[in-house]
């Protein structure tokens, strides 16, 4: 074998190793670029997640506030319902009292009307009796309802 064969063989081996190193270097650069791209994507995704987390927390606060307002309004509505029921009960009670007063007044008016009718009947009966007595005694005509006015006395 000639002395150039080992050199050629060694040069070829070196050349093969150099090619393998170059391939590994390209692979490493490509993987580093992919890693950098993935990191940027992950950073963007992390930022989006943080923004979403902040928005979610704000949303939770809004929901909690609205829930508190809703509960407060529910309590107020319940109080208003109770007041409305009390007012309605008072109205019914007052209405019943007024109805009772009206019935009492109607009964009283009816009793007064009956009393007036009885008095009118009694008056007519008394007038007839007086008229009959006057005719029996040949007295002057009965009272006709006209008053004779007495002259007023003037101070001297």
pLDDT tens, residue by residue, 20-62: 999 999 999 999 999 999 999 999 999 999 999 999 999 999 9
Q: What is the pTM of this model?
A: 0.44
Element (H, E) at 133: helix 4-136
Q: Which residues contact residue 133 at a Cβ distance below 8 angstroms, ignoring those fewer than 6 apart?
A: 139
Q: Which residue has the tokens 């009393």?
A: 115
- Give the range among 40-49, 119-128, 132-141 with minimum mean pLDDT: 132-141
Average pLDDT of the chain is 89
DSSP code for 137: T
- Residues 129/139, Cβ–Cβ less than 8 Å: no
Q: Is pLDDT larger for residue 144 or for residue 86? A: 86
């Amino acid at each position: 074998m000639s002395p150039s064969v080992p050199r050629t063989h060694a040069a070829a081996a070196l050349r093969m190793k150099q090619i393998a190193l170059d391939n590994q270097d390209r692979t490493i650069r490509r993987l580093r670029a992919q890693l950098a791209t993935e990191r940027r994507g992950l950073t963007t995704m992390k930022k989006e997640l943080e923004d979403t987390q902040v928005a979610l927390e704000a949303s939770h606060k809004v929901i909690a506030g609205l829930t508190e307002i809703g509960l407060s309004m529910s309590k107020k509505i319940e109080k208003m319902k109770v007041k409305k029921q009390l007012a309605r009960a008072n109205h019914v009670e007052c209405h019943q009292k007024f109805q009772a007063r009206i019935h009492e007044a109607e009964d009283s008016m009816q009793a007064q009307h009956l009393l007036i009718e009885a008095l009118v009947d009694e008056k007519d009966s008394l007038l007839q009796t007086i008229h009959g007595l006057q005719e029996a005694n040949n007295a002057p005509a009965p009272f006709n309802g006209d008053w004779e006015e007495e002259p007023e006395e003037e101070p001297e």
